[in-house]
Amino acid sequence: MKWPVKKTEKLTGSCDSFVTRTDVHYPTDINLLFDAVRKMISLTMGICDHMDISDWRQGKHHIRKAKRFYRKAQQLKRSTSKDKAKKAEREQLVINAHTAYIDLAQSYIDKVRQTLLLMPPVNIIMRLRIEEVNRYIGHAERQIDQIRRRVVKGGTIPHHEKVFSLFEEHTEWISKGKAGVPVELGLRVCIVKDQYNFILHHRVMQNETDDKVAVFMVKGTQNRFADFRLCSFDKGFHSPDNQKELAILLDKVFLPRKGRLSAINKEIENSEEFKTAKRKHSAVESSISALNNHGLDRCPDHALHGFKRYVALAVVARNIQIIGHLLQEKEVKRLQRWKRKKQKAA
C-alpha cells in the first residue's frame, strides 16, 4: 500500500478532547458509605473464615441491615411545603435517618477494628488483605464525616474533598456544558488527528483542562512526527501562553481566542485561511465518534493503569481500522481498473 502522505505535503492535525466514562454508579455520600461498609464487612468475613474466627459469621445479616438503613435515608426527601412546621418536621426525620445510618456504620467500623487487633501474626497475603480492609475503613470514616457535616450540621462539602468512586478513585466529576449531558463521570482524553484520519497522539488528562494540555499535545506529536507543523484547536484550548508557545512550535496555529477580539486578532480570525481551518476542525469529531461507537464511551477496565491501557488500545484499533479502510479502497480501485480494461478489450 502506498502511504497517503506525499513527501512534500505537511502533516496537519486537529486537536480536541472528550470524556471516557469510568464504570461507576452515580455517587452520593450515603451510597459511597454503603459501598465502604459492604466491602469492609465482606473482606473481614473472608479473613475470619480463613483464620477460623467466628466473629463475623453474621456478616451478611449486617450488610443487609446497613442496606436497610441506607435505603431509609435515601428515600426520605426534604419537604417543599410552605408550612414551616411541616418543613422542620420533615427535616428532622431526614437528620434522624442519616444519624442512625452513620451510627450503625460507625459501630461496624469499631467492631472490624477490634477483630483486626485480635488477629494473630499472619503471612504477607493476609497482611495485604488487612490493609485493604483498613483502606475501606478510611473511606467509611471520610463519608461519615461528610454526611455529618452536610446533613446534620447543614454545611457544604468543598469539591476537592469529594470522592466519586471507591473502586475507580481516578474518576472525576466533569461538566462540559453539553446539551442533555450536565455531568459525566470519568476522565478526559485528548487526541490529535491528521488530515487522513489517523490518530497521531493521545493523552489521558488527570485533573487537567484543555488549556493545560495544548502545548504538551503538540510537543508529543512532534516527537513522533517531525513534519507536524499545522494544528487547529477549539476555544477551550486558548490561553495567552498557549498562543505564544504554539506560535513557536508550529508554522500555523488555528486557535480561536475567547472574549472580545482586538482589531489585529479579528483580522486574523476573519481571514479565509483561518475560517477554512475552523470549518475543517470539526472533522476531529468523526474520530471521537468512531472511538465512542467502538467502545471508548465507557471504560470497563479497573484502576488508572487499566484505563490508560484501554484508551491506548482503542487508539491503536482505530488506526488499524483506517489502514483497513485504505486497503479496501485500494482493492476497489484495482477491481474497477480491471473491469474497465476488460470492458475495453471486449
Q: Same structural domain for residues 82 and 53?
A: yes
The average pLDDT across 279-300 equals 90
Pick the more confident residue, 264 or 137. 137
What's the CATH number where 243 sits?
3.30.420.10
Task: Give the percent of the chain with pLDDT over 90.
Answer: 55
The average pLDDT across 50-59 equals 85
∠ CA 159-165-170, nearest 5°, is 80
Q: Same structural domain for residues 228 and 319?
A: yes
Task: Say whether pLDDT at 185 is over 50.
Answer: yes
∠ CA 49-123-115, nearest 5°, is 45
The average pLDDT across 167-193 equals 87
Task: Say whether pLDDT at 1 is over 60.
Answer: no
Domain coverage including residue 199 = 11-23+169-329
Residues 6+ apart with CB under 8 A from 166: 32, 35, 36, 39, 136, 139
The pLDDT value given to residue 41? 95
Q: Same structural domain for residues 325 and 195?
A: yes
Confidence category of residue 260, pLDDT binned at 50, 70, 90? confident
What would the grid cell of residue 169 be? Answer: 478513585
- How many other CB atoms sit within 10 Å of the CB of residue 91? 15
**Residue 165 to residues 23, 98, 129, 143, 230, Cα–Cα distance (Å):** 9, 20, 20, 12, 39
Residue 145 domain-assigned?
yes
Task: Say whether pLDDT at 327 is over 80.
Answer: yes
The pLDDT value given to residue 133? 93
Q: Same structural domain for residues 212 and 288?
A: yes
How do residues 210-247 score in pLDDT, each as one tens digit?
999 999 999 999 999 988 889 999 888 999 899 999 99
Task: Say whether pLDDT at 7 is over 70.
Answer: no
Looking up cell 500555523, which residue turns up?
252
CA 118/CA 57 separation, integer angstroms: 16
Closest by Cα among 319, 199, 318, 324 to 332: 324
Residue 240 domain-assigned?
yes
Q: Same structural domain for residues 19 and 39?
A: no
Q: Same structural domain for residues 221 and 141?
A: no
Q: Same structural domain for residues 190 and 148?
A: no
CA 175/CA 127 separation, integer angstroms: 40
Residue 342 domain-assigned?
no
Q: Same structural domain for residues 82 and 195?
A: no
The pLDDT value given to residue 2? 46
Any bridge partners for residue 157, and if so which?
none
What does pLDDT average to over the chain? 89
The average pLDDT across 265-292 equals 88
How do residues 68-109 score in pLDDT, each as one tens digit?
999 999 988 876 777 788 888 888 898 999 999 999 999 999
**Alpha-helix residue ranges (DSSP H) falling in the chain:** 29-51, 59-75, 84-117, 124-147, 210-224, 240-249, 263-269, 272-281, 284-291, 303-345
Q: Same structural domain for residues 105 and 217?
A: no
The pLDDT value given to residue 6? 56
Closest by Cα among 253, 249, 109, 236 to 176: 236
Instruction: Work out how many domains the chain is built from and give that number.
Output: 2
**Residue 150 to residues 30, 97, 98, 144, Cα–Cα distance (Å):** 11, 14, 10, 10
- How many other CB atoms sit within 10 Å of the CB of residue 115? 19
Q: Same structural domain for residues 218 and 280?
A: yes
Contact 48, 324 (CB under 8 A): no
What would the grid cell of residue 91 be? Answer: 427535616
Q: Same structural domain for residues 94 and 195?
A: no
The pLDDT value given to residue 4? 54
Confidence category of residue 113, pLDDT binned at 50, 70, 90? very high
∠ CA 341-344-346, nearest 5°, is 110
Confidence category of residue 127, pLDDT binned at 50, 70, 90? confident
Q: Same structural domain for residues 310 and 202?
A: yes
